A and B are shown apart, each in its own frame.
Chain A
Amino acid sequence: SQQGEEDPQALSIQEGENATMNCSYKTSINNLQWYRQNSGRGLVHLILIRSNEREKHSGRLRVTLDTSKKSSSLLITASRAADTASYFCATDANAGGTSYGKLTFGQGTILTVHP
């Protein structure tokens, strides 16, 4: 079963604009991760934020986490046509060690960036 919802389901913007995607989840987590998937291909890890972190940056990506609301957001700044893809949040509810990596994914947001 899916962990939660991603919002919006689809997002269409112009190059240079910012894109914000939201993710909600249901259970307590150890960390939350964001992945990118180009059409029908494998997942590419973008960024991981731990449950004790509130914000994290990586290049043009900014991720926030609000554990009290069980929600996260991914912001892509100055978007490019090459950012067109599906974006998924995934939660890892386990305590680490050998239990790490059993991810629960959301439904994804389809981002289209027009040149």
Chain B
Amino acid sequence: ETGVTQSPTHLIKTRGQQVTLRCSSQSGHNTVSWYQQALGQGPQFIFQYYREEENGRGNFPPRFSGLQFPNYSSELNVNALELDDSALYLCASSLGQARHTIYFGEGSWLTVV
């Protein structure tokens, strides 16, 4: 149990639709990162939020966007869904300093049909 909660756990969307995934960070964690993990691959960094500001972004198009709220919960939004967006989306929270462990949620499985 990592204290990081993601919802929904599974969802199916149609190509072209929009999706919002949610993450509740471990209490007090001010840094949240999102990762995309395609089947059989390692996770890929999408972006990170620190104290409600985007703090770095991976190689993902602008239709991937996010928010971090004052209580440090977070959302990942994906517009104009493509079939290749089908993946496990992982949220990770930490205190944002190198000595602190990063905690991952169980992920949200997105299938785009």
Binding site for B on A (CB under 8 A): 1-2, 30-31, 33, 35, 40-45, 48, 50, 88, 90, 92, 96-108
- Rounded to whole angstroms, the CA-CA distance of A105 and B96 in the bound complex is 18
A-B contact pairs, 27 of them (CB 8 A): A2-B42, A30-B98, A31-B98, A33-B102, A35-B104, A40-B88, A40-B107, A41-B107, A42-B4, A42-B107, A43-B90, A45-B101, A90-B42, A90-B43, A98-B55, A98-B96, A100-B31, A100-B98, A101-B31, A101-B48, A102-B45, A103-B33, A103-B35, A105-B35, A105-B44, A107-B42, A108-B42
Residues of B close to A99: CB separation below 8 A: 55-56
Binding site for A on B (CB under 8 A): 2, 4, 31, 33, 35, 41-45, 48, 50, 55-56, 58-59, 88, 90, 92, 94, 96-98, 101-107, 109
Select B98's contact among A1, A35, A96, beta carbons within 8 Å: A96
How far, in Å, is A1 (CB) from chain B's closest CB?
7
Asked whether A101 lies within 8 Å of B96 as measured between CB atoms, the reply is: yes
